[in-house]
Amino acid sequence: MMKIFMLFMTQFLRFTPGFLREFLAKAAGTLWFYFSSDRRKIIEENLVAVLGKAEKKDVKKVFINFMKVYGDILNVPNMSRTYMKSMIDIEGEYFVKEELKKKKGVIIVSCHVGGMELAGIYLASLGFPINSVAETKGPGVDFFKFYKRYRGRFGSKLLPLESRKLPFRLMRVLKNNEIVVLVGDRDIANSGVAREFFGRKASIPKGTALLSKKTGAPILVGVLALGKGVKRYSGIVFPPIYPENFDSSDEILKEVVNLMEKGIRMYPFQWFVFQRIWK
């Protein structure tokens, strides 16, 4: 049913004007907010951790923003490279190009903030060799293959998180001087380590830091979210984290967490984590 829905919405959005998309996203987000009490409580918990409070209007805003971004993701097959470039502006984008010149590959770490999936698609549209990782356990292998049509737009590759060969594939990708895109704010594989995250202990994926230390590839932490400027999305890539500057992968992970917190604080009403992080 989900695949049929996505295909239908992709075709529907092809002919839908922007103002109608915004209206539908607001309506769908509002309904989801009122009918999903469990996820509403999780978003409340997230906002309290980041902001110290969670007002009803702000919690609802998270649900509405998610629907706006999800609508754009469903519209990806309809987008040209020119259109993609016209809707996104990323401060610090040049870091990606500069680090690739060093021939060590690049690890990009993002959070579940705003249009994180669109960021990889956007970079691929500019000609960067993008390799993203996504889970198959939740949605299933069939849906994972189907979703490649969206995430794989403009040539980016999608690798299954549960594959036993994933660590070796990622090292090979970096050795070929390509880009690996990972999400660092949610331990989907249940193999993370306990770290302070907004003042509370949470399980944080450790693979990013280990991969960087093993291969020497720099880490770029960045976020992309709905903005208020000329372009629909604005984002930032923070200065590189070089593994040789740290004595251990644990210290690297600490710096990654610090930058993720910084990125989330920039867009707290677009932090789309609907599963409980703090145990």
Count Cα atoms within 13 angstroms, Cβ side, for 51: 17
Tens of pLDDT, residue by residue over 151-185, are 888 989 988 888 889 999 999 999 999 999 999 99
The residue among 27 and 149 whose pLDDT is bigger is 27
Phi-psi region of 216 (alpha: psi -120 to 50; beta: other; left: phi over 0): left
| Chain mean pLDDT for the chain | 92
pLDDT at 247 over 70: yes
Domain map (residue ranges) of the chain: 83-270
Quick one: pLDDT at residue 161? 84
Helix and strand tally (H, E) in the chain? 11, 9
Quick one: pLDDT at residue 262? 97
Find out whether 187 and 180 touch, Cβ atoms under 8 Å: no
pLDDT at 142 over 80: no
The residue among 189 and 10 whose pLDDT is bigger is 10
Beta strands, E only, 33-129 = 88-91, 106-110
- Cβ neighbours of residue 180 closer than 8 Å, sequence gap 6 or more: 105, 106, 107, 108, 131, 133, 170, 173, 174, 211, 217
Tell me the fold of 83-270: Cobalt-precorrin-4 Transmethylase; domain 1 (3.40.1010)
Query: Can you read off the two tokens belonging to residue 258?
Result: 């610090």
pTM of the model: 0.94
Query: Can you read off the two tokens belonging to residue 278?
Result: 């703090």
Amino acid letter, 262: K
How large is the C-alpha radius of gyration of the chain? 18
* Average of per-residue pLDDT across 108-115: 95
* Average of per-residue pLDDT across 187-210: 91
* Average of per-residue pLDDT across 256-278: 96
Tens of pLDDT, residue by residue over 207-225, are 999 999 999 999 999 999 9
* Average of per-residue pLDDT across 107-132: 94
